[in-house]
Amino acid sequence: MKLLHTTQDRITANLIKAELENNDIETVIMDKKDSSINSFGFLEIYVTEPEFELARQVIAETLAQNEEE
């Protein structure tokens, strides 16, 4: 698995994961946020190496759409 994206926002992480899975890209979110102080740490989104470039394109489009809304 290869690190694709890092965010502090759970909603963004789950939105990206859902969009990647809609495109048949296997996705794993690794939660590295502190459980007692939710503002510390990150969520890391990983995809398989062969799907990495396609996944980058998908999240670029997804994040661009979110910024427009």
* Per-residue model confidence (pLDDT) at position 37: 67
What is the average pLDDT across 5-23? 94
Q: The domain 2-68 is classified under which CATH number: 3.30.70.20, 3.40.30.10, 3.30.70.1530, 3.90.1170.20? A: 3.30.70.1530
pLDDT at 64: 85
The C-alpha atoms of residue 14 and residue 41 are separated, in whole angstroms, by 16
Task: Provide the token pair at 39.
Answer: 């503002």
Contact call for residues 27 and 18 (beta carbons, < 8 A): no
Q: Give residue limits of the domains in the chain.
A: 2-68
Q: What is the pLDDT of residue 42?
A: 93
Q: Quick: pLDDT tens for 21-69.
A: 999 999 999 998 776 666 788 999 999 999 999 999 999 988 888 776 6
